Structure formats: structure tokens, C-alpha cells
């Protein structure tokens, strides 16, 4: 299969999943609404002290983003498993790894990208500076795809199991701690007047590492789960 056909396959899978998601808008909105509610409750509970809000902003937003991404992970392969589409994908001559990468990309576009776009609005609740908000957006842009890719492996391993949603969280959350630490650390560095380049560089390294390995690992996990 040549390079063009791989790209075409990737685009077809992404387009298909996006079209299907538009028919289930409630599932897409659930992640975004949960993120907004969790982040908005913290300023109400902690109080209006601006200095405290700025210090906790990065951690709160990143924890909320991580928990929000967990909500949609069990649905990444579940619908295709129930209607038999996943079996057809495995029998197809095309690369299952590329198909999985397409599903991961679509999942991020539906659950991760909206969080990146709405983060500046929520950051204003914490009295974040413009530099801190831009750093937060860049950190989320680098980190949320990693959450989707790691989550895809967990979703594939627990596919079809009873209580799979809880098992996905138990498997995925420990692996996402480094992303959480460096993502929140980038915002904290800006708030402290330091350079956030090192934290962002590590997030970029995590993204490249996950991009190389997780689609293949998730594809093999799907084969194991379907046996």
C-alpha cells in the first residue's frame, strides 16, 4: 500500500467517525460540559482570592481535562464492536494500525480539541495572564492527543469486558501522570516568571513517542480482545 492510500485510509476513518459522532451529539457534549462544570466549580468553592486562583489554575484545568477524556474512552471502539464493524476492519487487507490511528485522531478532535479551544475562557475565571493562557493552550494541544493515544490502548484491552469503563480508568490514569505533571508545570512556570520551554518540549517528546508506538499497540490489543 503506497503512502497516498495510507493517508486516504486515515482520512476515511476520521471522516466516518466524525460523521457518526454528529449523530450522537450528546456523547460529544458530555465531555465538554463535564470539563466546564468541574473547572467552574473550583473558583466558587475556593473563593475569589486572585493569587490563589492563579496558583491552582494549571493543575485544576489539567486534572479536569484528564478526567473529561476518561469519560469518552470506553466509547472509542465499543460501537464498532457491537455492530461488527471492528471485525470487518480486522479482516480488511488495509493496515489496522492506520485505522486505529484514524479512530484515535477522531476521538481527540471530538474530546480533546474542544477542551483546548474553550480553555482560554475558563482560564479567565482563574485570573490567568495572557502568557499563562497561551501556554496552557499549547500544553493542552500537545498533551491531550497523548491522553487519547494512551487511552486507546486501555480501551482496546478492556473491550467487551463488564465494567470496562472502570478498568480503562485504572489502566490509563497512572500512565497519564507524567503528562499531567509537565502540562500543569508549564503553566506554573509561566506564573512564576520562569521559562516553560522544557515542560513543553517534554510534552512534545511524549506526543512523538506515543504517536509512534500506541497505534500499533492498540491494534494488537484489539486483536487480543477479539479472540
pLDDT, tens digit (0-9, with 9 covering 90-100), for 142-152: 999 999 999 99
> In the prediction, which pLDDT does 74 show?
80
Residue 204's pLDDT is 95
Residue linked to cell 450528546: 26
Of 139 and 91, the one with more pLDDT? 139
CA distances from 139 to 62, 80, 119, 199 (A): 9, 31, 11, 8
- Sorted by where each begins, the domain ranges of the chain are 3-226
Query: What percentage of the chain has pLDDT greater than the value 90?
Result: 43
pLDDT at 21: 84
- Which triple of cell numbers denotes residue 108? 481527540
Q: What is the mean pLDDT of the chain?
A: 87
Segment among 162-166, 186-190, 212-216 with least mean pLDDT: 162-166
pLDDT in tens, 10-62: 898 999 989 988 887 777 788 889 999 989 888 888 777 878 888 888 899 99
Dist CA 218 CA 210 (whole Å): 11
Of residues 227 and 140, the one with the higher pLDDT is 140
- Kindly give, in sequence order, each residue whose CB lies less than 8 Å from that of residue 25, ignoring residues fewer than 6 positions away: none
- The DSSP result for 72-108, as a single string, is HTTHHHHHHHHTTHHHHHHHSSS-HHHHHHHHHHHHH
- pTM value is 0.89
Q: What is the pLDDT of residues 103-142, one digit of tens each?
A: 999 999 998 999 999 999 998 888 888 999 999 999 999 9
Sign of CA dihedral 119, 125, 126, 130: positive
- For residue 1, is pLDDT > 70? no
Q: Are 144 and 120 in contact (CB under 8 A)?
A: no
- Output the pLDDT for position 82: 81
Residue 75 CB neighbours (<10 A): 19
Q: Are 130 and 55 in contact (CB under 8 A)?
A: no
Which has more pLDDT, 105 or 4? 105
More confident: 2 or 198: 198
**Are 13 and 99 within 8 A, CB to CB?**
yes
Amino acid at each position: 500500500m503506497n503512502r497516498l492510500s495510507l493517508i486516504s485510509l486515515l482520512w476515511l476513518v476520521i471522516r466516518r467517525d466524525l460523521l457518526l459522532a454528529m449523530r450522537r451529539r450528546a456523547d460529544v457534549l458530555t465531555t465538554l460540559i463535564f470539563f466546564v462544570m468541574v473547572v467552574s466549580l473550583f473558583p466558587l468553592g475556593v473563593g475569589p482570592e486572585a493569587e490563589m486562583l492563579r496558583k491552582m489554575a494549571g493543575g485544576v484545568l489539567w486534572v479536569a481535562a484528564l478526567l473529561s477524556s476518561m469519560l469518552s474512552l470506553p466509547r472509542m471502539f465499543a460501537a464498532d464492536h457491537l455492530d461488527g464493524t471492528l471485525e470487518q476492519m480486522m479482516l480488511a487487507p488495509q493496515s489496522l494500525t492506520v485505522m486505529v490511528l484514524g479512530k484515535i485522531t477522531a476521538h481527540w478532535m471530538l474530546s480533546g480539541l474542544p477542551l483546548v479551544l474553550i480553555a482560554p475562557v475558563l482560564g479567565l475565571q482563574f485570573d490567568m495572564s495572557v502568557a499563562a493562557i497561551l501556554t496552557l493552550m499549547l500544553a493542552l494541544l500537545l498533551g491531550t492527543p497523548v491522553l487519547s493515544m494512551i487511552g486507546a490502548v486501555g480501551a482496546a484491552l478492556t473491550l467487551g469486558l463488564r465494567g470496562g469503563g472502570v478498568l480503562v480508568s485504572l489502566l490509563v490514569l497512572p500512565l497519564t501522570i507524567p503528562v499531567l505533571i509537565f502540562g500543569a508545570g508549564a503553566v506554573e512556570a509561566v506564573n512564576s516568571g520562569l521559562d516553560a520551554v522544557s515542560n513543553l518540549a517534554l510534552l512534545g517528546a511524549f506526543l512523538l513517542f506515543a504517536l509512534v508506538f500506541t497505534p500499533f499497540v492498540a491494534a494488537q490489543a484489539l486483536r487480543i480482545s477479539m479472540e
